[in-house]
Amino acid sequence: MTNIPPIAFRDVTIPAHVPEHLIREDYPFVFGMTTERDPFNDLAASWQKEPEIVYALHAYPGAAPAWVPRKAKDLRTIWMDAEHFSSAGGSIFADLLGESWVLSPANQDPPAHGPFRNIVSPVFTPKAVAQMADKVRMRAHDNIARFAARGSCEFMSEFAFEFPIRIFLDLMGLPQDRMQEFLEWEKDLIHNHDVEKITETARNVVSYLHEAIEDRRSNPREDLLTFAVQAQRDGKPLTYDELMGFAFNLFIGGLDTVATNLGLQFLHLATHPEDQARLRANPSEIPGAIEEMMRAYGSISLFRTCSKAIEVNGVQFMPGDRVALSATLGGRDPDEFPDPAEVRFERRPRHFNFGYGAHLCLGRNLALREIRVAMEEFFETIPTFRLAEGHVVNYTLGLIQPIELPLVW
């Protein structure tokens, strides 16, 4: 079943250029909803029978309308076309607060995007991430040790959320004792459908990040916030909007992306014992397996706004039209990935779970390392694990994530 939250979908005015036969009211991946149906082999698979691009009435955050392309080729076309599709409209948090920053560099367009990305990208290179390897492994090991002897865990709350949050707090130089508070903020920002609550939480996050940024000006440390405060662009320090957009973007990405992929991939391993056994016996295959599971279990949707009229795959996009770019649908495109429901570790896919093109996620190297280390440490410490008998997985939608994942061994 799919559970509709206690809010009414807004009345939608459909633009004149949208053909009636492309309008859909039943787009499944709506923010704030949950489901017990399989988001991938059921919902995404059934959506592959729809036209290649549809106008879904509730696909954009806030249950607003957006064009939804389902073919990988169209996703790539739109991702690569900054002239016609702007990234700047992809975040609602600053708008809710009446502020002018955007998530940087994720929601910056050229020419601002490239120079800003170049400023911050050295922090996330493979070499830079490798220097964190010991701390990442220590965090994973210590976390697993808390429940290893018990023979079971609730994977999402006891590991998938906590482990990457602790790495994020290390990276940002933020206090570990506020982990639970940050987790609650993240849930309100990403999974809540109450606009007033989202606004309140966004205000709390901005206030906290502002205080932390100001503290780094007078008390610099070896952390990412200090790096941003000391960074310069054209010989000048970053502005308030640039600093806040960068810090807020890290807050969102650092607290949820890894947790989501850990949940989906460990669910796969718990329900596909042959794949778990293969990776335990051949740990060198883990990096490729992670990429393939990211393809098969694409969890994110990213957004663009049409800024200049253009036709894509026979569909007319007009300025102001919003577009939902679903890694879930793109990863299940049978023309791009034959037999898309099959997880094939040797596939080496070009998936969309970190975005695509110039806006490929800066934190990709760190996220992949965290997931790999989590698997290695689990396999080292925990015997073959499985999903608790009788448990029915319930997922959040919008950002697809298991709500609870009880594992036993």
Per-residue pLDDT reduced to its tens digit, 204-232: 999 999 999 999 999 999 998 999 999 99
For residue 199, the surrounding DSSP H or E stretch is: helix 195-218
- pLDDT of 6 strictly over 60: no
- Tokens standing for 248? 């807020």
- Structural domain of 268: 2-408
Q: Is 118 exposed, middle or buried (0-12, 13-18, 19+ CB in 10 A)?
A: exposed
Helix, strand counts (H, E) of the chain: 16, 17
pLDDT tens, position by position, 294-314: 999 999 999 999 999 999 999
Taking the chain, what is the end-to-end CA distance rounded to the nearest angstrom? 29
Residue of 32, 101, 34, 125 whose CA lies nearest to 251:
101
Q: pLDDT-based confidence at 47, cuts 50/70/90?
A: very high
Q: With left for phi above 0 and alpha for psi between -120 and 50, is residue 235 left, alpha or beta?
A: left
Q: pLDDT-based confidence at 1, cuts 50/70/90?
A: very low
Task: Give whole-number Cα distances, 18 to 62, 233, 321, in Å.
Answer: 20, 42, 10
**In this structure, are residues 90 and 302 in contact, taking their beta carbons and an 8 Å threshold?**
yes
pLDDT tens, position by position, 224-263: 899 999 999 888 999 999 999 989 988 887 777 899 999 9
CA angle, corner 380, sides to 375 and 386, nearest 5? 65
DSSP string, 44-62: IHHHTTS-SEEEEEEEETT
- HSE, CB side, 13 Å, CA atoms: give it for residue 286: 21
Cα–Cα distance, 3 to 8 (Å, whole number) = 13
Q: pLDDT-based confidence at 153, cuts 50/70/90?
A: very high
Cα–Cα distance, 107 to 82 (Å, whole number) = 11
pLDDT tens, position by position, 264-285: 999 999 999 999 999 999 999 9
- Tokens standing for 192? 């809540």
H-type alpha helices, 33-100: 45-47, 72-80, 93-97
Burial 18-27 (b: 16+ CB within 10 A, else e): beeebebeeb
- Tokens standing for 295? 């393809």
Could you tell me where the beta strands, DSSP code E, fall in 227-272? 232-233, 236-237
Total Cβ atoms within 10 A of residue 386: 14
Provide the CATH number for the domain around residue 198: 1.10.630.10
For residue 171, the surrounding DSSP H or E stretch is: helix 162-172
Residue of 266, 260, 256 whose CA lies nearest to 382:
266
- pLDDT of 286 strictly over 80: yes
- Number of domains forming the structure of the chain: 1
- Tokens standing for 147? 């429940």
- Mean pLDDT, residues 367-388 taken together: 97
Q: What percent of the chain has pLDDT over 90?
A: 67
Please report the pLDDT score of residue 192 as a whole number.
73
Please report the pLDDT score of residue 5 as a whole number.
41
pLDDT tens, position by position, 62-115: 788 999 999 999 999 999 999 999 998 556 788 889 898 888 888 888 888 888
Query: Mean pLDDT for the chain?
Result: 91
Strand bridging mode 301-306 / 322-326 = antiparallel
- Tokens standing for 208? 């906290």
Q: With left for phi above 0 and alpha for psi between -120 and 50, is residue 189 left, alpha or beta?
A: alpha
Residue with tokens 């008390």: 219
Give Dmax (Cα) for the chain.
62
Please report the pLDDT score of residue 88 as a whole number.
81
Alpha-carbon Rg for the chain, nearest whole angstrom, is 21
Strand bridging mode 53-60 / 23-24 = parallel
